[in-house]
Amino acid sequence: MKSGFTWLDSVVLFVYLVGITLFGLWMARKIKSSNSYFMGDRKFNWWLMMGLAFGTGTHAEMPVAQTGAVFQNGFATIWYQWKNMLITPFYWLLAPWYRRSERTTIGEMIEDRYGRQLGLIYSVFAIAFFVFNQGAMLQGAGKIISVATGDAISSNGVVLSMTAAFIIFSFFGGLMSTAYTDFIQAFMIIILSMMLIPLGLGQVGGFSGLHTILASKPDFFELYNVKSGLTAFTIAMLAVNGVVGITAQPHILSMCATGNNERAGRIGQTHGALVKRLCTIGWALTGLIVAAMVIERGVTLPDPEAAFGYACRELLFPGLTGLLAASVLAANMSTCSTFMVNTGALFTRNFYMKYINPGANDRTVLWTGRISGFVLTLLGVLFALTVKNVLHAFLFTETIAAFMGIIVFGGVLWKRANRYGALWSVLTAFVVYYALNFNSTGKLLLVYKWKPEPFGWAMLWGFVVFIVLSLLTRPEKKACIDLFFDRMSRLSDDDKKGPDDVKSLAAESGHDLLFLDLPGWLKSERWSGFFKRYREDIVGFIIAWGVVALIVALAYGILQIGT
């Protein structure tokens, strides 16, 4: 049964676009200041933070890529997505950094740590990150819907329609509208992840039929094997990429620092990401179903990544195709709306207020954020209309984020780090990465296929230079470093300041940070009352690993059904 894009699908898609736009505009009434626009007044509940993190972290190309990888090489390729599951518990430890910085952008956070010049360099990177990623995601969603609907809708038409919707509610509602619409759209993404499974199982005779048809490929049902192309070293390097890179991704501050307390930020970022890992099981299972379908029907797919589109065309009936298209839009609109607000915040806080109009009042700051976010998003749309290779655009920005992460990650872990070590560590990482890739390919390219060896060497030399040069050059001003780390050591939830007009030390309530200045662990006072000081970090970290174990066990159990 092949589906087309019927009038009913058009109605479903239209209702979704209009509905989510009106809902976002309705939430925009809460915007009273630049703080509410950029940061939601830091009052989001934990469930909103989960929706924000899940929606922003899930893009439409992810189910397509994962379904295609499983279709070609089996379920074990789920580790292309699950590589980050091994670092997700660490999000619990990292999240408080951003709320305790008391800043709106990571550019400001880096300026506090290393000075204005590095803050400016980071801000330029961050805006480029947002523009390129928005463009790639918009075009990626456009291509998916175009294929799934049999070219009934053009990819550029999808880009323009989707952009119009999220720009309208993001322009007026900022992060307030984004957070609430992301929560709604999170359910749409879950539908996207699961809707093809029951229909597909019905076509192949259930789980037992799935195993029977794929009996010649028993490795397709293994949770891990080397045939997937992912060695332990590759997974380890991807994990390093993830845990260091995420600290410098420019939207991470709004993901962690906009909750009504530190725990809301921890829960949102950690468990919102784990919901995404859970959805990955649905994408992988869809890949197995398509592998069985093409064998049973005697057809071939020239491109493995066409597996998701093939399942959509063969399994969906009128109404569901429109729902799928709406779900794909939800996966990308949730991310792009967050990016638009953060882009406006970066330009306003790190350029406009520092170099153009330092004395701007709050109303001017608010409208500058709205207009700059809108204009920079349009640049992303222009990029989307010209981009040919979506994957390459993502790889480029993800690689930069990992190298930039050296200075963010290292700057919190080590008090002695300075601007000289930070700047040259990033430059060294880039030089080593490109030199090794050029040496192996003989070609000078902007974006190389990601390989663990060049990346690993680049990160190693980046951190070596970061440490050595920081030790050989003069340290940052003591007053600045003391202020930065004093903020990190105090509980940001504390509204009642003591007699000295400062917030209470986090250690007093069990909220001290395990990752704060690791060399300080050589001092005996860091071990005094260990569990009492670090209770929140330790308990939450263990619980997160428990959820990881449950997700892995669930996947293993599903693979045993029908055997």
pLDDT means over runs of 10, the chain (563 residues): 69 86 87 89 91 83 84 89 88 96 94 94 88 72 66 67 80 86 81 86 94 92 81 86 91 92 96 93 94 92 82 82 78 80 91 91 93 86 61 65 94 96 96 94 81 93 97 95 95 72 88 92 87 96 97 95 86
Neighbours of 207 (CB within 10 A): 17
CA 161 to chain centre: 23
- Which residues is 44 bridged to in the sheet? 259
8 Å CB contact between 512 and 486: no
Q: How far is CA 453 from CA 234, 430, 456, in A?
A: 8, 14, 5
pLDDT of residue 153: 66
Rounded CA separation 4/202 (Å) = 20
Q: Output the six-digit token pair for 106.
A: 């990571």
Q: Output the six-digit token pair for 260.
A: 């009504």
Nearest to 61 by CA among 83, 80, 37: 80
Nearest to 388 by CA among 221, 18, 23, 139: 139
Q: Output the six-digit token pair for 64.
A: 């397509």
For the chain, domains (ranges, CATH) are: 7-418+538-560 (1.20.1730.10)
pLDDT of residue 1: 44
Rounded CA separation 148/160 (Å) = 18
Rounded CA separation 254/53 (Å) = 9
Q: How far is CA 522 from CA 94, 289, 416, 528, in A?
A: 21, 54, 14, 12
pLDDT of residue 357: 93
pLDDT of residue 32: 84
Neighbours of 163 (CB within 10 A): 21
Q: Residues near 431 by Cβ (< 8 Å), separated by ≥ 6?
A: none
pLDDT of residue 302: 80
Write down how long the chain is: 563
pLDDT of residue 532: 94
Rounded CA separation 61/69 (Å) = 12
Task: Count Cβ atoms within 10 A of the Cβ of residue 500 and give its class: 0-12 exposed, 13-18 middle, 19 or more buried.
Answer: exposed
Task: Count Cβ atoms within 10 A of the Cβ of residue 225 and give its class: 0-12 exposed, 13-18 middle, 19 or more buried.
Answer: middle
pLDDT of residue 417: 97
8 Å CB contact between 81 and 275: no
Rounded CA separation 181/52 (Å) = 9
b/e sequence 166-203, b meaning 16+ C-beta within 10 Å = bbbbbbbbbbbbbbbbbbbbbebbbbbbebbbebbbeb
Rounded CA separation 190/312 (Å) = 16
Rounded CA separation 133/393 (Å) = 7
8 Å CB contact between 61 and 384: no
HSE on the CB side for 498, CA within 13 Å?
7
3-state secondary structure 307-337: HHHHHHHHHCCCCHHHHHHHHHHHHHHHHHH
Measured in degrees and rounded to the nearest 5, phi and psi for residue 505 equal: -65, 135
Q: How far is CA 559 from CA 72, 91, 310, in A?
A: 17, 29, 23
pTM, entire model: 0.89
| Helix 155-194 with 7-27: angle, nearest 10 deg | 90
Tokens 């040919």 belong to residue: 388
pLDDT of residue 156: 66
Measured in degrees and rounded to the nearest 5, phi and psi for residue 5 equal: -100, 100
Q: Output the six-digit token pair for 251.
A: 């939207």
pLDDT of residue 152: 67
Rounded CA separation 113/412 (Å) = 9
The identity of residue 233, as a single letter, is F
pLDDT of residue 497: 60
